Amino acid sequence: MVVHELLAPAGDLERLKIAILYGADAVYIGGPSLGLRANASNFTLEEIKEGVMFAHKYHKKVHVTVNIALHNKEIDGLLDYLKALEKCEVDAIIVSDPTIMQLALKNTNLDVHVSTQASTLNIEAVNFFEKLGVKRIVLGRETSYEEIKSIIDNTNVEIECFIHGAMCAGYSGRCVLSNFLTARDANRGGCSQICRWDFNLLDQKQNKLVGDKDFTFCIKDLSMLKYIPKMIDMGISSFKIEGRMRSIYYIATVVSIYRQVIDKYLSDKNNYRYDLELEKILTNCANRDSIPQFFDGNYDESVQYYNGRVEVSNQDFLGLVLDYQDGIVTLEQRNYFKPNDQVEIFGPNMQTISLTISEIYDEEGHLLDAARHPRQIIKFKLREKVEPLSMMRIKR
Partner 1 sequence: MKLLESLYNLDNINDAADGYIIGIEDLSINFKNYPLSELKEISLLCQKNNKELFVSLNKNMHNQDLAYLKEALLLIDTLDIKGVLYYDVAVVNLHNTLKLKTPLVWAQEHFTTNYQTMDFWYQYGAKYSFVSAELTLDEVLTINSKTKANLIVPIFGYLPMFASKRNLVKNYLKTFKIKDDSTLNYMEKEGKIYPVIDNKDGVVVYSSHILNGLREMLILKEAGVSYVYLNTFLIDDMREIIKLYQDANKTNALSFEKCIDEMLEGNTDKGFLYKETVYKVK
Q: Footprint of partner 1 on residues 156-195 (CB under 8 A)?
A: 169-171, 173-177, 179-181, 183-190
By beta-carbon proximity to partner 1, the closer residue of 6 and 78 is 78
Binding to partner 1 by residue 338, rule CB under 8 A? no
Query: How far is residue 268's CA from residue 393's CA, in Å, rounded to a whole number?
Result: 29
Q: Which of residues 34-63 bind partner 1 (CB under 8 A)?
A: 38-39
Given candidates 1, 80, 156, 300, which one binds partner 1 under the rule CB under 8 A?
300
Around 254, how many Cα atoms within 13 Å sit in the side-chain half-sphere? 32
Using the rule CB under 8 A, is 237 a contact of partner 1?
no
Report whether 130 contacts 156 (CB < 8 A).
Answer: yes
Report phi then psi at 223, rounded to 5. Answer: -145, 125
Which is nearer to partner 1, 55 or 134 (by Cβ)?
Answer: 134
Cβ contacts of residue 268 below 8 Å, gap of 6+? none
Q: According to the binding rule CB under 8 A, does residue 333 interact with partner 1?
A: no
85 to 124: interface string for partner 1, x by CB under 8 A? -----------xxxx--x---------------xxxxxxx
User: Does 204 sit near partner 1 (CB under 8 A)?
Assistant: yes
In this chain, which of 14, 86, 142, 341 binds partner 1, going by CB under 8 A?
A: 142
81 binds partner 1 (CB under 8 A): no
Query: Of the candidates 41, 127, 247, 376, which one interacts with partner 1 according to CB under 8 A?
Result: 127
Is 5 a residue that touches partner 1 (CB under 8 A)? no
| Residue 226 DSSP code | G
- CB under 8 A: which stretch of 19-27, 245-253, 276-284, 295-303 binds partner 1? 295-303
Residues 249-288 that bind partner 1 (CB under 8 A): none
| Closer residue to partner 1 in complex, CB, 167/355 | 167
84 binds partner 1 (CB under 8 A): no
State yes or no: residue 72 binds partner 1 (CB under 8 A). Answer: yes
Binding residues among 205-234 for partner 1 as defined by CB under 8 A: 206, 208-213, 215, 217, 219
Q: How far is the CB of 325 from partner 1 (least distance, A)?
A: 43
For residue 272, CA distances in Å to 257, 267, 278 come to: 15, 9, 14
Q: 179 vs 376, which CB is nearer to partner 1?
A: 179
Residues 6+ apart with CB under 8 A from 138: 94, 113, 114, 115, 116, 120, 160, 161, 162, 238, 240
Tell which one of 30, 140, 292, 319 touches partner 1 (CB under 8 A).
Answer: 140
Beta bridge partners, 61, equal 26
Q: Which stretch binds partner 1 (CB under 8 A): 67-75, 157-165, 231-239, 328-336?
A: 67-75
Determine whether 198 is exposed, middle or buried from the number of CB atoms within 10 Å of its CB (0-12, 13-18, 19+): middle
For residues 97 and 221, which CB has a smaller minimum distance to partner 1 in the complex? 97
Backbone angles phi, psi at 321, to 5 degrees: -70, 125
For 216, 218, 226, the CA distances from 305, given in Å and listed in that order, are 8, 5, 21
CA contacts within 13 A on the Cβ side of 188: 10
Minimum CB distance to partner 1, residue 42 (Å): 10
Complex with partner 1: residue 299 or 361, whichever CB lies closer:
299
Q: With 0-12 CB in 10 A as exposed, 13-18 as middle and 19+ as buried, what is 96?
A: buried
200 binds partner 1 (CB under 8 A): yes
Give CA–CA dist 61/160, Å, rounded. Answer: 15
